[in-house]
Structure 1
């Protein structure tokens, strides 16, 4: 090496490769200096070297996935941890291993994965969930400096195309009232009346979903308002309590810390709570299905139908999508729009008759 000139001697083996390495390394340091100056951040030669070294601490796709799964478990987001685990296992089955870097996942790789998933006979929406989870973890890898944003393949590969419109799950207001007014004989299973009460409560209280209903305690009632944080999105919801909803809550008053007889103080761990909720929602939905058949409704009745029906009824009454979005605790109005019934098309059809 020519120490005075800071470059390899002419007779040095691999001279060109070494020169290229030196140029790349100098560029890396120059780029970092520019970034720090733009951000008006101070640095010394030592801290500059440390910052460059940290950007080189690479982690494989497998390592980042496992890291994220553990983080979700620590946050008690067991459902999300499970969906991440499913994607992790799916990726291993597809690629045989995950000892690769996120920079290796390009558009071509994603297309191959999509083709492979389709070969597994999975529903289109399930494939969409796999890709949205992968995209989420890729964004985490970028944020934590394990891959450069320039490698991000989802600008060209659109996950939105992996969505299939599911049948609308809302029922019209008249049918909702039929369900709410149905009285179960005392001799029948207590689950039947609980099912009707939970459906009614959800419909009257912003379409609150079953998991969030199950977790409500007296602490969620503040100044005649229901205040709770959605388990799924962590959004804080404030809703005025409908008088009939208050009647339902009072009906189930007991020593149980929870408002509804789904969870109890016995259910301590997150897994115990999830198991219990899963068991009860199965029974409740079975009761609602039977009731829906009895009332000859045109859709299968479940607790989730109350959520969709709440959104659609308000929309038909002229309430803005943004307000409905807030009540449902959705991440965006686009998600709310999926919930809304396609009644606008019916109205548009009628209006178009006036064109000629």
Structure 2
């Protein structure tokens, strides 16, 4: 009988019953499986036998595999959440993770798209015809209009990809979208700019025509058979469009979130307001974007004003 696995299964079920995001649950499952495999290799088969030393050794093993400090710290956060659950359910007294410290992370600059790259991806999304797949013209048109809308919403609203996929037609009211399934199940409103509203009107006309005789799910974005568009499908779409546009960066929905956040800050929107738009629980998270933006702007501003460059000009 595998008691540790039983506890993990119950923890995951608890997370699902609390309606945690699918991505969060997927990450919990993956990381706890790795931790369980490590415990199995050490012949540890009972929760009570897990000590702080075992957790540290597991994290060190991840470090030796070349994992980044941020990835290792996420592991520790997941393991801590698991033990907090065990304590709350009174399956265990004490929490060994309290004696385990987080790894010191290197501060990294967030690299995102330029305005030109975003415009190029919007252009490519609008033109892609998927020539490798022989489909009726109406199908290609629907997909092209939908894909352009996806890029525009991600770039303009800083929306998370799972939030985008969960939008229903009924969530759109005028120039606003109600995000019902935000992180930690928090609701918030997102403003829709004039360019998005224009594309949205076009998309709805094409969508209605394409699925005229097909029963579809009540979601804004749907696939070719009328089902809700998945997170994986959007991620694959962004990578494909990025490749078509020759973007030499990590092309993902989250990169668009970075772009949107930094652009809002560059345009003078205050940190608190940007934090609300992003759905952050604290402005400290949003300040990461601010630090990266400020560093980038300082570098650009001082590019041709270094001491030696100025000396050379005077001579």
CA distances 1:264-306 after superposition (whole Å, capped 9, x unpaired)? 6546xxxxx6xx4423531342122221x1xxx5634333322
2:236 matched residue in structure 1:
282
How many positions carry a matched residue from both structures?
A: 279
Determine if the alignment matches structure 1 residue 168 to structure 2 residue 120: no
2:59 matched residue in structure 1:
114
SS at match of 2:189: strand
SS at match of 1:342: helix
1:311 matched residue in structure 2:
261
In 2: Cα distance, 1:308 partner to 1:89 partner: 30
Determine if the alignment matches structure 1 residue 220 to structure 2 residue 171: yes
Structure 1 unaligned residues grouped into runs of 5+: 1-59, 268-272
Determine if the alignment matches structure 1 residue 322 to structure 2 residue 272: yes
TM-score by structure 1 length? Answer: 0.65
CA distances 1:37-74 after superposition (whole Å, capped 9, x unpaired)? xxxxxxxxxxxxxxxxxxxxxxx654432211122344
Alignment CA distance shift 1:84-1:181 (3 Å)? closer
2:152 matched residue in structure 1:
200
Q: CA deviation at 1:166?
A: 5.6
1:209 matched residue in structure 2:
160
Alignment CA distance shift 1:164-1:141 (3 Å)? farther
CA distances 1:150-192 after superposition (whole Å, capped 9, x unpaired)? x44445432253x455662322335434544568447565456
Q: Could you tell me whether the CA contact under 8 Å between 2:149 and 2:199 is conserved in 1?
A: yes
TM-score by structure 2 length? Answer: 0.73
In 1: Cα distance, 2:197 partner to 2:163 partner: 16
In 1: Cα distance, 2:111 partner to 2:197 partner: 26
Superposition pairs of residues 1-356 of structure 1, within 5 angstroms = 62-74=5-17, 77-96=21-40, 99-101=45-47, 104-106=50-52, 108-148=53-93, 151-159=94-102, 161=104, 163=105, 168-180=110-122, 184-185=126-127, 190=140, 191=143, 194-205=146-157, 207-253=158-204, 254=208, 256=216, 257-262=218-223, 266=227, 276-291=230-245, 293=246, 297=247, 299-340=249-290, 342-347=292-297
Q: Could you tell me whether the CA contact under 8 Å between 2:149 and 2:200 is conserved in 1?
A: no
Alignment CA distance shift 1:104-1:280 (3 Å)? closer
SS at match of 1:201: helix
Higher Rg of the two aligned structures: 1
In 1: Cα distance, 2:23 partner to 2:71 partner: 15
Q: Could you tell me whether the CA contact under 8 Å between 1:62 and 1:98 is conserved in 2?
A: no
Q: CA deviation at 1:220?
A: 0.8
Alignment CA distance shift 1:298-1:82 (3 Å)? closer
Q: Could you tell me whether the CA contact under 8 Å between 2:271 and 2:286 is conserved in 1?
A: yes
RMSD, aligned α-carbons: 3.4
Alignment CA distance shift 1:95-1:188 (3 Å)? closer
SS at match of 1:159: coil
SS at match of 1:132: helix
SS at match of 1:226: strand
Alignment CA distance shift 1:214-1:183 (3 Å)? closer
Q: Could you tell me whether the CA contact under 8 Å between 2:126 and 2:145 is conserved in 1?
A: yes
SS at match of 2:184: coil
Q: CA deviation at 1:79?
A: 3.3
In 2: Cα distance, 1:104 partner to 1:186 partner: 53
CA distances 1:179-219 after superposition (whole Å, capped 9, x unpaired)? 445684475654565443311111222x1133222221111
Alignment CA distance shift 1:122-1:263 (3 Å)? farther
